[in-house]
Amino acid sequence: MLIKPVRAVLLSIMLLASLLMLAMLVITTTMKSASVVVPVVASENQTDKNYILRAYNGHIAVFYGAITDSPAIETTIEVAGLRAVDREKLVAGITVQSYDDVLRLLEDFGS
């Protein structure tokens, strides 16, 4: 007779643990997709050139000045997860004037 209550308690604990793991997986995946590697030196003194956001290796990348072989910043924001209109803009390249604009766009794309 003691087996049924113990079994119910164990099943409840397992269910709660499963729900907690699922919630952590969702949170981790969301945080990972929105993370950005920001360069150590802020670009306050870099006002004479433009920033270009483009699709690079399936992610959003930031090029400084001109598009070169390697970006200044490569994010973990996947281009495939964006709206079609945003994907098209990123293929063509989105030019912005300031680093603040870069951060604003990356925040928009990452949310």
Q: Does residue 58 share a domain with residue 18?
A: no
Q: Is this structure's pTM higher than 0.75? A: no
- 49-87 per-position pLDDT tens digit: 789 999 999 999 999 887 677 888 899 999 999 999 999
Q: Tell me the average pLDDT across 23-30.
A: 66
pLDDT at 41 (0 to 100): 45
Token pair in block for residue 1:
């007779």
Q: Is residue 62 domain-shared with residue 101, that is, in the same domain?
A: yes
Handedness of CA 98, 103, 106, 111 (dihedral sign): negative
Q: Does residue 55 sit in the same domain as residue 86?
A: yes
Tokens of 26: 């969702």
Question: Residue 28's pLDDT band (boundaries 50, 70, 90)?
Answer: low
- Give the residue numbers spanning the domain of 6: 1-33
